[in-house]
């Protein structure tokens, strides 16, 4: 068994020094995958330090993390390093720079600059931007034009909700009232509750509300309605009836009666009884009776004597019945999905109404509006001007906790430089995390986002 290398670059083993020469170089865009305790934050703050040494103004560095605690720790570490280095001897500073990937020759040149960096930053009056995703997106929202807020259905004067639990609690009353006053929604709700119970129905609707941004985006793209095809799309010969088994009864009446006759002539009482039951089901167009006569409770063909006269006909209609049962289940799945989609749309609309009534904006609104702003080439430039910060270095800590919408916003912003015709330079990007350690799945974090971001950094930057 071979031991995996401690340090790799694009799948190839490298030395520790070579690894940090790449990871800490602020001129390079890199995605670092590292386990807990591997010094991810040390690398991130080291890149900040080197970017400052290379001439970046503090406000041109944007570091994003996910909690105020993590942002505070990052800010404190940078502050402590700068204070320590301002008083350290030059030999020590050279070693500190070498440990952060600077060549020994260049470290000699940069020692005094590192020593003076703390005073230089204090004199600038502008700190490095170390923020949570939500605070940065909220700052973007604060610069949004009124027309954009209106287009997103957001109030001009809003209160930002860090926690939407209060709004979630408040929405159920208006939702149930709307359902009660709508004949179609009430029918949907009663059908789902009758099948799955009130608790499970509300649990499923709450899950849809928690994923409301993804639901809305998917719904707008037609994905929600297309996600479960109707039975008629898969079984066109059994369409036209609410129950595919009824369609089978009407289409294959003669074949079913022939099978019933073969079973009815059997000497075994249990076989002949099923023949009578099948004939009765055909005569009464009883779909459940048809299925019970030919199939077991598990939906498998009932066992009849292979030497029975007409057994081939019986086997034939059993196969047809199995197919009709599959079509019925498909129809029920489609019907349930359509009902839940209609109820989810209603719940999400009522949730938006509750927020609008109180002047609330939640983090989903913030992220979605940030995506719109950063994806638009004109708005994106305008945002940067309003924030008075042209970001030259972007660093994201614990990237595995990034949700798809947050990454889409960042990706739209960064990918826009590719079409700038050389008029703008993309910031260097540093992302670090461990896809196996995602802890914010409840915030819609998706570890697959890390893989997509790695590919973008490697191929796009």
Interval 54-71: pLDDT, tens:
999 999 999 999 888 989
Whole-number Å distance between alpha carbons of 241 and 168: 39
416 vs 429, higher pLDDT: 429
pLDDT at position 453 is 83
Note whether residue 353 is domain-resident: yes
459 vs 228, higher pLDDT: 228
Are residues 178 and 128 part of one domain?
no
Note whether residue 150 is domain-resident: no
Q: Read off the pTM.
A: 0.71
pLDDT at position 66 is 83
pLDDT at position 412 is 81
Are residues 180 and 137 part of one domain?
no
Q: Which of 343, 360, 377 is the last residue of a domain?
A: 360
Confidence of residue 447 (pLDDT cuts 50, 70, 90): low
Are residues 179 and 126 part of one domain?
no
pLDDT at position 442 is 44
Phi and psi (nearest 5°) for 428? -70, 145
Q: What is the mean pLDDT of the chain?
A: 88
Confidence of residue 168 (pLDDT cuts 50, 70, 90): very high
pLDDT at position 422 is 45
Q: Which of 325, 360, 395 is the last residue of a domain?
A: 360
Are residues 303 and 201 part of one domain?
yes
Whole-number Å distance between alpha carbons of 269 and 74: 81
Residue 111 has pLDDT above 60, yes or no: yes
Burial level of 284, CB count in 10 A (0-12/13-18/19+)? exposed
pLDDT at position 379 is 79
In this structure, what token pair is assigned to residue 251?
């289409």
- Going by their DSSP bridges, the two strands 8-9 and 12-13 should be labelled as antiparallel
Give yes or no for a contact between 26 and 77, defined as CB atoms under 8 angstroms apart. Answer: no
Residue 218 has pLDDT above 70, yes or no: yes
Lowest mean pLDDT among 285-289, 342-346, 388-392: 388-392
Lowest mean pLDDT among 85-94, 247-256, 332-341, 372-381: 372-381
Note whether residue 455 is domain-resident: yes
Residue carrying the six token digits 């610069």: 143
Note whether residue 152 is domain-resident: no
Lowest mean pLDDT among 5-14, 79-88, 95-104, 377-386: 377-386
Residue 106 has pLDDT above 90, yes or no: yes
Are residues 123 and 196 part of one domain?
no
Are residues 206 and 315 part of one domain?
yes
Q: Which of 360, 391, 416 is the last residue of a domain?
A: 360
User: How wide is the angle at C-alpha 402 spanned by C-alphas 396 and 408, nearest 5°?
Assistant: 95
Note whether residue 226 is domain-resident: yes
Lowest mean pLDDT among 154-163, 179-188, 288-297: 154-163
pLDDT at position 1 is 33
pLDDT at position 418 is 55
User: How wide is the angle at C-alpha 84 spanned by C-alphas 78 and 86, nearest 5°?
Assistant: 100
Interval 277-327: pLDDT, tens:
999 999 999 999 999 999 999 999 999 998 999 999 999 999 999 999 999
Number of domains the chain is built from: 2
Give yes or no for a contact between 265 and 309, defined as CB atoms under 8 angstroms apart. Answer: yes
Note whether residue 176 is domain-resident: yes
pLDDT at position 57 is 93
> Which range marks the domain in which residue 369 is found?
21-143+362-460
Give yes or no for a contact between 209 and 344, defined as CB atoms under 8 angstroms apart. Answer: yes
């Amino acid at each position: 068994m071979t031991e995996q290398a401690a340090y790799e670059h694009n799948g190839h083993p490298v030395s520790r020094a070579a690894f940090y020469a790449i990871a800490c170089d602020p001129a390079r865009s890199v995605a670092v995958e590292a386990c807990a305790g591997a010094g991810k934050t040390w690398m991130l703050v080291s890149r900040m330090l080197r970017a400052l040494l290379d001439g970046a103004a503090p406000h041109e560095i944007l570091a994003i993390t996910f909690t105020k605690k993590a942002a505070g720790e990052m800010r404190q570490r940078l502050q402590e390093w700068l204070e320590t280095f301002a008083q350290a001897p030059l030999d020590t500073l050279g070693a500190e720079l070498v440990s952060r990937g600077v060549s020994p020759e260049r470290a000699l040149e940069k020692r005094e600059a590192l020593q003076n960096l703390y005073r230089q930053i204090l004199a600038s009056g502008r700190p490095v931007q170390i923020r949570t995703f939500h605070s940065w997106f909220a700052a973007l929202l604060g610069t949004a034009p009124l027309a954009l807020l209106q287009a997103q259905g957001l109030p001009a004067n809003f209160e930002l909700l860090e926690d939407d639990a209060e709004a979630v609690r408040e929405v159920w009353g208006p939702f149930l009232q709307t359902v009660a006053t709508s004949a179609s929604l009430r029918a949907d709700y009663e059908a789902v509750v009758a099948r799955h119970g009130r608790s499970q129905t509300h649990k499923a609707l709450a899950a849809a509300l928690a994923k409301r941004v993804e639901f809305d985006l998917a719904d707008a793209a037609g994905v929600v309605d297309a996600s479960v095809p109707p039975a008629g799309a898969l079984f066109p010969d059994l369409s036209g009836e609410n129950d595919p088994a009824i369609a089978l009864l009407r289409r294959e009446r003669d074949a079913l009666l022939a099978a019933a006759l073969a079973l009815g002539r059997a000497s075994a009482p249990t076989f002949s009884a099923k023949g009578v039951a099948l004939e009765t089901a055909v005569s009464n167009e009883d779909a459940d009776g048809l299925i019970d006569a030919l199939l077991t409770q598990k939906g498998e063909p009932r066992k009849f004597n292979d030497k029975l006269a007409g057994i081939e006909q019986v086997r034939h209609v059993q196969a047809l019945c199995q197919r009709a049962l599959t079509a019925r289940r498909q129809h029920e799945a489609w019907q349930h999905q359509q009902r839940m989609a209609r109820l989810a749309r209603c719940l999400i609309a009522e949730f938006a109404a509750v927020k609008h009534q109180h002047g609330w904006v939640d983090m989903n609104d913030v992220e979605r509006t940030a995506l719109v702003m950063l994806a638009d080439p004109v708005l994106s430039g305008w945002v940067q001007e309003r924030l008075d910060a042209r970001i030259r270095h972007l660093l994201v800590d614990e990237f595995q906790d990034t949700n798809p919408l947050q990454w889409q916003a960042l990706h739209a912003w960064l990918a826009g430089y590719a079409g700038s015709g050389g008029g703008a330079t993309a910031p260097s990007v540093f992302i670090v995390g461990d896809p196996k350690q995602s802890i914010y799945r409840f915030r819609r974090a998706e570890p697959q986002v890390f893989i997509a971001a790695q590919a973008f950094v490697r191929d796009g930057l």
